[in-house]
């Protein structure tokens, strides 16, 4: 398998992804959350980085945020809807929501004009509002946000060509603009922790595994731009300065914990969370960022109706949120399923729902009730239902959803002024 932010190929082995990318399985956290979304319960969200911070903030009623973005290189489809649903769910359970329209990336990487990305970007905004995003969200186009550009400039000073080459596979022909966009994306991820948005806090980024290089780079950059480097030790925190040792003297004067002071670091002893919070508060007073490393969740790639990954570059592979309902029905009826070679064989052996793009629509988008979903699975595996009938049922649900969603998009367009949208 080959997975990069711009390309996904091969059969995806999610257990292998967790191991090779250094993620953790999300299943270990389900019992620690006060509630779960269908995407979590059904294993669609399969991995995470540092989501324990989010769980802690939720359970302790501390401020936290959710942030993700969309590149307007094609109209929003059901693959994008999955991420939108994750943002909306996190907002509903208490997170401050940030939504980026990655117009700079679409302009640089895909070659779209500024007028095109603005027009398409607004469709993404109307779609996520139609799915339930409320007015407290921060929504912005990258090119229109001065805070994003300023932060990206600061972050770009902490990364060099060799590192970008290793992470993204950039070559000598790669443009400077495409390389700089990586700093813009890191700024998107860290923006919710700026002072103007309440300062450092846990932030979760819901993404597909192909976006993990951005997460890994940003977690590194979050540490590099901070004044103080923190390392967990037995019974405490080791503190180093990334600037000069004078900062260590300053913090030793105000740190109210048992401590040992050395030339190059300070060891503070006590509750690690309290020590970390105290250090971050002091860094803010010194004019630093005090960023927390961002957390992330990883969802499975939604299968295209024709097989492989659903992709904006393959219209036949996806259902757009702007498709005419009758056209979407036709796409579903042509979709690849997990059926057997003949009706007789399927009645005897049953279908294979886990290999079926239509059943995946039920799992991710069309069926809220877990019992109803299990009934559909049992009908398939027992051979009680054939693919033609199952497709008709799914096509009808898709058509119904699109009619309602597109009506809600019209309503969203009429009340965009109620939202905090930074637009080019």
Distance CA 83, CA 376 (A): 24
Instruction: Mark whether 267 and 119 lie in a shared domain.
Output: no
In this structure, the answer to whether residues 108 and 210 fall within a common structural domain is yes
Per-residue pLDDT of the chain (424 residues; tens, 9 = 90+): 566 665 666 667 788 888 888 899 999 999 999 999 999 999 999 999 999 999 999 999 999 999 999 999 999 999 999 999 999 999 999 999 999 999 999 999 999 999 999 999 999 999 999 999 999 999 999 999 999 999 999 999 999 999 999 998 899 999 999 999 999 999 999 999 999 999 999 999 999 988 898 999 999 999 999 999 999 999 999 999 998 889 999 999 999 999 999 999 999 999 999 999 999 999 999 999 999 999 999 999 888 898 766 666 677 789 999 999 999 999 999 998 988 888 889 899 999 999 999 999 999 999 999 999 999 999 999 999 999 999 999 999 999 999 999 999 999 999 999 998 999 7
Angle at 200 between CA 196 and CA 203, to 5 degrees: 105
Q: Does residue 185 lie in a domain region?
A: yes
Residues in contact with 301: Cβ distance below 8 Å, sequence separation at least 6, in sequence order: 8, 12, 79, 208, 209, 210, 309, 310
Residue after which a domain boundary falls, among 301, 333, 356: 301
State whether 148 and 246 are in the same domain.
no
Residue 127 is encoded by which pair of tokens?
């779609």
Q: From edge to edge, which strands make up the β-sheet containing 420-422? A: 24-25, 45-49, 295-299, 203-208, 65-70, 96-101, 138-141, 420-422
Task: Name the pTM for this structure.
Answer: 0.93
Domain that holds residue 372: 315-411
144 φ, ψ (degrees, to nearest 5): -100, -5
Q: Are 233 and 246 in contact (CB under 8 A)?
A: no
- Are residues 191 and 180 part of one domain? yes
Strands (E), 95-244: 96-101, 138-141, 203-208, 228-233, 236-241
Is residue 309 one of the residues assigned to a domain? no
For residues 314 and 309, give the distance between their C-alpha atoms in angstroms, rounded to a whole number: 10
Spatial separation of the C-alpha atoms in residues 78 and 321, rounded to whole Å: 7
Q: Indicate the number of domains in the chain.
A: 3
| 78 & 188 share domain | yes
Whether 258 and 168 map to the same domain: the answer is no
pLDDT of residue 97: 98
Q: Are residues 212 and 327 in the same domain?
A: no
Query: Does 417 fall in a domain?
Result: no
* Length reported for the chain: 424
CA 307 to CA 335: how far, in whole Å? 8
122 & 137 share domain: yes
Which residues, including other chains, have CB under 8 Å from residue 347's CB and lie 6 or more apart?
383, 386
Is 51 inside a domain boundary?
yes
């Amino acid at each position: 398998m080959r997975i990069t932010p711009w390309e996904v190929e091969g059969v995806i082995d999610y257990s292998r992804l967790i191991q090779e990318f250094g993620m953790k399985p999300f299943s270990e956290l389900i019992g620690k959350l006060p509630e779960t979304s269908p995407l979590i319960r059904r294993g669609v969200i399969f991995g995470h980085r540092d989501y324990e911070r989010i769980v802690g903030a939720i359970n302790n009623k501390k401020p936290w945020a959710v942030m993700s973005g969309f590149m307007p290189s094609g109209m929003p489809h059901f693959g994008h809807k999955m991420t939108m649903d994750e943002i909306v769910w996190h907002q509903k359970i208490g997170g401050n929501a940030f939504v980026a329209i990655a117009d700079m990336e679409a302009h640089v990487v895909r070659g779209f004009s500024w007028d095109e990305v603005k027009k398409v970007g607004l469709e993404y905004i109307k779609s996520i509002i139609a799915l339930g995003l409320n007015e407290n969200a921060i929504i912005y186009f990258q090119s229109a946000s001065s805070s994003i550009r300023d932060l990206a400039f600061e972050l770009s000073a902490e990364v060099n060509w060799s590192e970008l080459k290793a992470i993204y596979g950039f070559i000598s022909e790669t443009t400077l603009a495409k390389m700089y966009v990586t700093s813009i994306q890191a700024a998107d991820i860290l923006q919710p922790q700026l002072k103007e948005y309440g300062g450092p806090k846990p932030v979760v980024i819901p993404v597909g595994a192909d976006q993990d290089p951005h997460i890994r780079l940003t977690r590194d950059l979050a540490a590099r731009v901070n004044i103080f480097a923190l390392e967990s030790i037995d019974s405490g925190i080791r503190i180093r300065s990334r600037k000069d040792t004078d900062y260590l003297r300053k913090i030793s004067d105000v740190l109210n914990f048992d401590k040992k002071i050395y030339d190059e670091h300070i060891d503070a002893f006590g509750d690690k969370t309290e020590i970390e919070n105290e250090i971050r508060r002091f860094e803010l007073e010194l004019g630093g960022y005090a960023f927390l490393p961002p957390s992330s969740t990883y969802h499975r790639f939604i299968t295209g109706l024709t097989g492989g990954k659903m992709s904006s570059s393959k219209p036949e592979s996806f259902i757009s949120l702007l498709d005419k309902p009758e056209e979407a029905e036709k796409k579903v009826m042509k979709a690849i399923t997990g059926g057997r070679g003949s009706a007789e064989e399927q009645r005897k052996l049953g279908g294979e729902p886990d290999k079926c793009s239509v059943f995946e629509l039920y799992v991710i988008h069309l069926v809220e009730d877990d019992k109803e979903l299990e009934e559909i699975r049992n009908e398939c595996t027992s051979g009680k239902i054939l693919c033609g009938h199952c497709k008709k049922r799914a096509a009808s649900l898709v058509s119904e959803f699109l009619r309602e969603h597109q009506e809600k998009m019209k309503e969203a367009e009429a009340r965009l002024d109620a939202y905090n949208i930074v637009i080019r």
